[in-house]
Every structure is written in structure tokens, then in C-alpha cells.
Amino acid sequence: MRTADLPEPLASALMGRNLIVFDGECVFCSSFFRFMLARDRAARFHYATAQSPLGQALYAALNLPLVAFETNLVITNGVIYQRLDAFAAAMAELPLPWRALAAVRYLPGWLKDGLYKPLARNRYRIFGRYETCLIPDAALRARFLPGGG
């Protein structure tokens, strides 16, 4: 799906920026956020938690669960990616050697889903869960879109 297909207020809220929406209570998902933040030195991405008003609006527009988040969302160049394709899209925006991990996008769908879905379903049990969502400091807040954190 493309951001242009989203309802107008939501598409406008994205402001044409690349965005990563992650479960702010999930230890694994928050680790992915921190990984991206540390390696995205060109600041290509902005961020939002799935629990935020912006995250909730995106999940609702995509007919995704609003509580049991089984996918991060990655938006690059106006295209919305989910599951392992979201990971691949994020890696494609990083410098080498990380960009090489974008090759997972070429795996067949059945294999990508077979790898991703069990991990997503069991991520709290395997990695843990924060009691509260991430609260960014002032410097980090600038990387979150309005309504995203």
C-alpha cells in the first residue's frame, strides 16, 4: 500500500517522510528502533510508537490489530511495508554492511512469513515487555513525528 492511499488527514500527517512505527512496549521492537537510530546517521527515518495516536491511526487504516501488534511498519518513499518486508525496507536505507540485509525481501512469501510470524507472536514471551512505552528525551523527540510518541 502507498501513503497516497491513506485517508487524507493521515497522509498529510506523514508529511512525505520515511517512518518506522514500532511497538514501544516490546523489548525486541524497541531494540530494533534503537538499532536503526544508531545506524541511521543521515536521519532518513522518523519514528512513532504503535501505541501513539499516529501509530493507532496507521494500524486502523491498514486494518491491523490495535493492541496485539504483530508487525512494525516501515514507510519509505511513500510505500508502506509490513513484517519482514518492513525490515528489508529499513535495511535498504542504511549504509553497508547493513544494506546487504535488505536481500531478505527476495525470499519467497511463505518463507518470510514462516520466519516472521512465530517470532512476532511470541516476542513478549521470548524477549520481554516494558511496563510503559518509551518516553523520548528532547533530542530524541525531534525524530518522532507529531502524535507519534
Region 3-131: CATH code = 3.40.30
Of the pLDDT bands very low, low, confident and very high (cuts 50, 70, 90), residue 136 is low
C-alpha to C-alpha distance for 51 and 136, rounded to whole angstroms: 14
pLDDT of residue 109: 92
Q: Where are the domains of the chain?
A: 3-131
The cell for 56 is 493507532
CA separation for the pair 22, 148 (Å, rounded): 10
Residue 138 is predicted with a pLDDT of 66
- Cβ neighbour number for residue 126 with a 10 Å cutoff: 11
* Residue-level pLDDT at 78: 93
pLDDT band, residue 137 (cuts 50/70/90) = low
107-126 pLDDT tens trace: 999 999 998 888 888 888 88
The pTM score is 0.87
